[in-house]
Amino acid sequence: MWYTKVTDAQGLETFYRYNYFNRIESRTTPYQPHLGSEHWRWDEHGNLLAHIDGEGRTFAFEYDAKGRLIRFSDPMSRTMAFEYDEKGHQVKTIDPMGRTREMQYDSQNRVAADTDFAGRTTQFKYNDQSLPIKVIDPANNEYGYQWNEQGQLVASTDCSGQKTTYTYDHRGQLIEQTDALKQKIYFQRDRMGLPTVVRYPDGTTEQFEYDGEGNLTRYVNPTGEETRYAYDGKGLPVERIDAAGFRLAYQYDTLRRLSRLTNQNGEQWTFDYDGVGRLKQEVGFDGRTRKYQYDEGGMLLTYSEGDQATLYERDSTGLLKRKLIERKGHGIVETRYAHDMLGRLTSVQNSHSAVRLHYDALDNLIAEEQTADLPDGYHYRSVYRHTYDVLGNRQTTTLPNGQEVAWLRYGSGHVHAMSLDRQPLFDFERDALHRETARHYGVQQQTRQYDVMGRLTRQQRLLGDDAKQQRLYHYTQISELYGIDDSLKGETRYQYDPIGRLKAASTPLGEESFAFDPAGNLIDPELLQNTEQHRDSQPINTHWDGAREEVKFDYRQLPKVMGNLLERYAGTHYQYDERGNRRRQTEPSGHTTEYVYDADDRLIEVKRYRRAPAAGDTTPPEMHAKYGYDGFGRRLWKLVKDGKAKPKLTVFSWDANLLTSEEVFEGEFHFWDTFAYPQEPELEPEDPSKKFSLPIAQRVHTLTARALKRTHWLYEPESFVPAAQLAETYDQRSQRMTGTGSVAYSADSVTNEPQLYYIHTDHLGTPQELTDRDGNLQWIGQYRAWGELAKANDSEGNAPIVEMPLRFQGQYCDAETGLHYNRYRYYDPQVGRFTSQDPISLAGGTNLYQYAPNPVQWIDPFGLKKSSSSRKPEKI
């Protein structure tokens, strides 16, 4: 045996021990044992037998006489087994639950068929070069591929017969791509094969420049605006200067790890690491310090920030079992997790909820049970059931009210139709790129048109053959949406700064203008009045009505929002707690709203007063709301007492991350912090004779309060865009329990005929209108630029008979606060930003409060990370 000592640039000594065959046996840091260790064991043939981490977690390997891996075991003794044929091909894999995956090979030793753990088979055909020319999926769909003599893909045909082609130059570099609609993208490349010019189907071009190492140094968009990049001698990025001249800078330590990030406002975020390169501490732009500790196996053990501490407990394979969050004055949030033998999450529980997940042999989620423990000791349970086709696409979902939503698909899973209780709901027509071009629903239809860049240019709603409404969309050369012409609501125009931030919006409601600091924070318009914005400034290009105009605007003269903490906007003042959560809001009128958070930074209580309460003041708030969440962070209920009205309890149900229903109750609920727990109502099983039978889709509750209404939302396939709303109202008082299925619970409530409304959304997926089955407009919404509903009426200009609380994708508007619940956070449309910092920190962007550069072409359905809604042809 022999050792090697490695001393890194920061002086850490690590010892590596090897056996006589130069195979590593251990890695240790004897002078800093908390950094952990690793050990390896080998057999006499050089096969790895075990890997053991610093916590003693052992991963074991077994081999046959030919040195082939035949068994792998994790620290919980869960085993994967492997079998081979006489040629040494792996032909069978057996997972810990005994399921098998089988592989078949042709005479040339190529995979001919792959049968997965659920028995689904995919077949492969090859040419003489052993390149695949045909793939047949388990649904018998065929995909074709063509290759040139150099082995480059020249054409691919999907299972619907739509072809995409590729052209190469004499050096074998891709220079042209043509889609199924014959729309082409052209590429010019340098000698290294890097693209220098990309020309799109509309004739616009993007340009790229590189240094000698192939690092991108300059990007020029179709209107000539530049973004520049700089690197150090080791090829690490050190600077990015955007089209507005704002600088984002990076610094590194001696081991080339990011140590400092400087944002556009000149503020710094610093990073510190332990001896093995794990993040140990970071200090944010606002000065908050975050600390991390790991176990000796390298898994995160604790996370702390100020008075908040988070503890993670894991099983021997590293799967999370328990998360405990404690914060002084904000209580404890404990969440427990359970997994099956395959590592699939099966249960999540916290103090007020329980979620159980059930899967089929394909690992598809087939049932989700949700239990909410409500105020005053009530319970509400709901179950969703799902089925899937052979490709794993969702076929049906049975809602807790017993209604079934079904999807009819073609090809690899493109939706052709949706139905509700086996009655047609939507029929879709699609083009060669499988984009929706027409939607038929009842007596109505909607058509969509796109330009060569894939951008939506027209929506038209027809009643029979009669055109009732249309929206036209207009774009700049860089795909910024600058205009919407709505035949019902009028014209809207947008203006942007050089980096795509919304500067102005002109709508039928009026004019709005905005200014931002370099870091993307909205600036209080009252502060701008005292700022010299127009003197001695350089011309900055903006975009308006598709044209380019020069305006004088010097961003250096604008005030900065330090720490990204917006403290004032349009006369309203905001205060924050030590975690960066908005805790108080004071309006010019004196109205004051106070916000309370749990230890996990989730909003759990809101109080609104006519005047800010003094210390010791016991005056009750004019509005009081409380909120509860499950272990996934999904909001399950809210309880609101507004004025002298009776408290209203709203219970929410979810299909994974989609908010699918709400049920509203009115009664004498209390706002105590303690919960009682009477017996939960039982769920009706599919087969009562089986002990572990899955429950049917149902809803069961113990509430005695009066049920006012229940609303369901149906969404476009695989999206957060709502497509239909089902509204149910109640005539009589409901009794103690209600349910669905063959075993009914006692209930004397009478539900009016459910009302179906079709939701008409814009390019962004925001609800704009609701129509009934006969095509009558029942709800027309008009919004301010950042998503605040300014006006809602029916076709006669009267107050609508139906409510629509959905806003931007993934958002639900709380009437009591004006905030939009956005899955993981709350969004304030009055200031276009979130009320708390991003739970995923810098992974969501450098400004932890920012919603998006503009709300016209960006969405954030989870409240975590923005994404562009524009659709450009795919780049290669």
Q: What is the pLDDT of the chain when averaged over all its residues? A: 92
SS (H, E, C) 26-39: EEECCCCHHHCCEE
Residue 10 tokens, joined: 């920061």
Q: What is the rounded distance in angstroms from the CA atom of residue 295 to the CA atom of residue 312?
A: 10
Residue 258 tokens read as: 């990011």
Q: Is the pLDDT of residue 611 over 60?
A: yes
Q: Are 363 and 376 in contact (CB under 8 A)?
A: no
Per-residue model confidence as pLDDT tens digits over 410-458: 999 999 999 999 999 999 999 999 999 999 999 999 999 999 999 999 9
pLDDT in tens, 354-384: 999 999 989 999 999 999 999 999 999 999 9
Q: Quick one: pLDDT at residue 729?
A: 85
For residue 418, the model assigns a pLDDT of: 98
Q: Which residues are paired to 262 by β-bridges?
A: 249, 268
Residue with tokens 């598709």: 546
What confidence tens digit (pLDDT) does each residue in 302-339 have?
999 999 999 999 999 999 999 999 999 999 999 999 99
Asked if residue 843 has pLDDT above 50, the reply is yes
Q: Could you give the 3-state DSSP secondary structure of residue 634? A: coil
Residues whose CB falls within 8 Å of the CB of residue 586, separated by 6 or more in sequence, listed in order: 572, 573, 575, 592, 612
Q: 667-699 in b/e burial notation, b at 16+ Cβ within 10 A?
A: bebeeeeeeeeeeebebbbeeeeeeeebbbbbb
Task: Enumerate the domain spans of the chain.
Answer: 1-73
At 679, the pLDDT band (50, 70, 90 cuts) reads: confident
d(CA 49, CA 36): 21
**What is the per-residue pLDDT for 615?**
81
Tokens of 168: 């190469």
φ, ψ of residue 319 in degrees (nearest 5): -70, 140
pLDDT tens per residue, range 530-565: 654 433 333 333 434 444 444 444 555 678 999 999
Report, as an integer, the average pLDDT of 233-249. Answer: 97
Quick: pLDDT tens for 193-215.
Answer: 999 999 999 999 999 999 999 99
SS3 508: coil
Say what the pLDDT of residue 672 is: 59
pLDDT at 745 over 70: no
User: How many other CB atoms sit within 10 Å of the CB of residue 741?
Assistant: 18
pLDDT at 556: 59
Higher-confidence residue of 1 and 412: namely 412
pLDDT for position 731:
63
Per-residue pLDDT at 673: 54
More confident residue, 398 or 874: 398
| Model confidence at 141: pLDDT above 70 | yes
Mean pLDDT (whole number) for 769-781: 98
Q: Is the pLDDT of residue 750 over 70?
A: no
**pLDDT per residue over 16-37, tens digit each?**
999 999 999 999 998 888 888 9
- pLDDT above 70 as % of the chain: 92
Reported confidence tier of residue 614, pLDDT bands at 50, 70, 90: confident
Separation CA 530–CA 561 (nearest Å): 16
Sequence length of the chain is 876
Q: State pLDDT tens for residues 781-801.
A: 999 999 999 999 999 999 999
Contact 779, 725 (CB under 8 A): no
Of 8-12, 289-293, 507-511, 842-846, the range with the lowest mean pLDDT is 8-12
- Site of tokens 């961003």: 555
Mean pLDDT, to the nearest integer, of 88-111?
98
- Average pLDDT (45-60) is 96
Q: Do 275 and 262 meet the contact criterion of CB atoms below 8 Å apart? A: no
Q: Are strands 13-18 and 24-28 parallel, antiparallel or unpaired?
A: antiparallel
Mean pLDDT across the stretch 246-262?
Answer: 98
Name the strand (E) or helix (H) holding 525: helix 525-528
Cα separation, 808 vs 815, whole angstroms:
15
Interacting residues of 470 by C-beta distance below 8 A, sequence separation 6+: 458, 459, 460, 461, 486, 487
